[in-house]
Amino acid sequence: MIRSGSAETAAALLLNFGEPATPALDEVVPFLEAIFTANARLEPQETVEDVALRSRELARRRAPGLVEAYESIGGSPLNAQAADQAAALQTALEARGETMAVAVGMQFTKPSIDEALEQLRANDPDTLVLVPVYPLCGPSTTVAALTSVRASLRQSGWDPRTVEITGWHRHPGYVRHRADATRRTAEDAGLDLNDSDVRLVFSAHGTPLRYVRDGSRYVEYVEEWCHLQSEALGVRRWALGYQNHSNRRIEWTAPSIEEALRSLTETRAIVVDPISFMHEQSETLVELDVDLAAEARELGLAFHRVPIDHEASMFIEVLADLVITALGGEVPGVPELRACRCKPGADVCFNGEPLGPPRLDGNNS
């Protein structure tokens, strides 16, 4: 393992999606355009020019609504929280005797992956640990982010040793961290998650079904995560819904989170856990706290949402475990590493066989 003071040095790159920090069209439109371009294979075009034109049109169409959403929350806090995580991770690694630079690279906003790599290159590390802050591995998040790093390194001519981390939702510390947050939310609301009229609702970021049909195991991982959390909480009944984006005429994962709520007959209160998110952002602060909360009120449901503690010590220690494991260190209690099923050649992956066959209906009622 690479140690401080040895001949070899390491650095860590936290990979994330990014969101515009200010609600301005000149930030939101390029952000959306980049996302649509990256996912252009969902709607095949004949030429690169066709892709660029359609992505630009989609971005301009959706931007006003997203600007309004960002204005309602004063801009997205995602980027600032990601920077906080990087600083906390660097401190946690130093406490374990691993002194290294830690930077954040965003897929679709600044600081970009190119900028983050340039920052880390100044430290001249021998090894670069790539850490997607996406516990549930998906094609447009984990896999795409790692692929972007590879492309950026080739373009820059920098060739450090790289260690890729992919799926890590099975880390026991992460399971405990999220279960504790859900338990506290229910207790603070005076709710028993096993009462017949109370339901735990897992809200996952939706993904286009084409990705699933093309081999993505994201739905399996979401289903597995719900099982892990329900077991950790001792909860017998739960529901799952997906936060889909209907701005594109494609098939998305089912059921949608709105459909999941409408299926909860004889329920008076829900505790919503946004399982795909490591920060507060528009998809938690607007899509859930505003839009879904309004849907719940119309259905007569008391709405409670599990907050995301992005700097919780347990979560930061999970990230530190990932980095240390990637560098060859042994961390007690960490699951056995498996060959990655989503990105062949990745070095650190805890995703084993799913606990049971995936159910695309996503409802355990």
111-133: pLDDT as tens digits: 999 999 999 999 999 999 999 99
Q: Quote the tokens at residue 54.
A: 């359609």
10-to-90, 104, 127, 241 alpha-carbon distances in Å: 12, 15, 5, 40
| 308 pLDDT above the threshold of 90 | yes
> Could you give the CA distance from residue 58 to residue 61 in angstroms, rounded to a whole number?
5
In contact, 362 and 133? CB cutoff 8 Å: no
Backbone dihedral region of 207: left (phi > 0), alpha (psi from -120 to 50 degrees) or beta? beta
- Please count the residues of the chain: 365
| 352 pLDDT above the threshold of 60 | no
Q: DSSP 3-state helix, strand, coil percentages of the chain (rounded to 5)?
A: 45, 15, 40
199-to-56, 193, 350 alpha-carbon distances in Å: 41, 6, 29
> What is the four-CA torsion angle of 46, 49, 50, 51, rounded to 10 degrees?
100
Choice between 89 and 362, residue whose per-residue pLDDT is larger: 89
In contact, 280 and 308? CB cutoff 8 Å: yes
Choice between 70 and 354, residue whose per-residue pLDDT is larger: 70
- Can you tell me the mean pLDDT for 195-213? 96
Task: List all residues 6 or more positions away from 351 whose beta carbon is below 8 Å from its beta carbon.
Answer: 137, 166, 167, 169, 170, 217, 221, 338, 340, 341, 342
What single-letter DSSP state applies at residue 22? S
- Tell me what percent of the residues of the chain surpass a pLDDT of 90: 80
- Can you tell me the mean pLDDT for 295-308? 98
3-state DSSP of 103-140:
EEEECCCCCEHHHHHHHHHCCCCCEEEEEECCCCCCHH
121: phi then psi, degrees, rounded to nearest 5 = -60, -30
> Could you give the CA distance from residue 318 to residue 310 in angstroms, rounded to a whole number?
12
* Kind and range of the H or E run holding 73: helix 48-73
Of 137, 127, 138, 195, residue with least CA distance to 162: 127
Per-residue pLDDT, 40: 83
Which burial class, exposed, middle or buried, applies to 6 when counting CB atoms under 10 A from its CB (0-12, 13-18, 19+)? exposed
173: phi then psi, degrees, rounded to nearest 5 = -65, -35
> Could you give the CA distance from residue 31 to residue 58 in angstroms, rounded to a whole number?
11
| 354 pLDDT above the threshold of 60 | no
> b/e string for 150-176 if b means 16 or more Cβ within 10 A?
eebbeeeeeebebbbbbbbbbbebbbe
| 7 pLDDT above the threshold of 70 | no
Confidence of residue 361 (pLDDT cuts 50, 70, 90): very low
